[in-house]
Amino acid sequence: VGLSPRVSYPTLGFIFVSASLPGTLLGALVVARAAGGYTHRRPTCLLVARCAVATLLCALLLPLASFGLCDAQGRTDMPVFIAGAYGALFLGAAPTASFVGLAVSVVPDTATHASSVQFFAQTLVKLLVPTLGDLAIQHLGLLGGFEAVVVGASLALVASALAALRHISNNSTEPRAGGTSTLVQQEGQVVGERGPLLRAKPPPFESHAV
């Protein structure tokens, strides 16, 4: 990539260690403050979709730095490559808290099972991506394989986020972040989003003298 191993290994190691953890923490803070918490599913999905698109844009900087901005000797434009790699890992980790929150809250009264399924799927993907990465590196080389995996994973993240956002938008009646639930009185009952909340008291009996 245009750097000696003595320089490139610590540089890339620093990116991998320092990008994901701050991204996860900042993503959790943003979903709590800006989206109103993961129980507000549409704003949370919208935040995930924005992070996914930003991750893809950063990932596309990697092949651009290697092929579009390389010098006459074919060496990668390292500032652009480092910015793309750091941005992709940072923004890709940002929706982690949102994923977990959505998984345990999207179906009422199934938090335990949903959490188990979510962590199983997450662990399975963590095992699958290195395997696919190894195949890509064998066919495309170390640099090309790394870039192909990052771009492919970013595309999958965008597709999943947009599909979830579309589903939530079409099927959810929840209020937006910061809003309040609307209570409607129907047939002596106060009805909320999840059904009857309480039964309204009947009017007091009044006796009239004849």
d(CA 25, CA 65): 28
- Rounded to whole angstroms, what are the CA distances from 6 to 9, 13, 80, 182? 6, 12, 20, 62
Q: What is the DSSP letter of 112?
A: H
pLDDT tens digits for the chain (210 residues)?
555 667 777 877 888 888 888 898 998 888 888 777 777 888 888 888 899 999 999 999 888 887 766 655 556 777 888 888 899 999 998 888 887 777 777 666 766 777 777 778 878 887 887 888 888 888 887 777 888 888 988 998 898 888 888 877 776 655 444 444 444 444 444 444 444 444 445 555 455 554
- Which two three-digit tokens encode residue 209? 């003298």
Q: Note whether 52 and 154 are within 8 A (CB).
A: yes
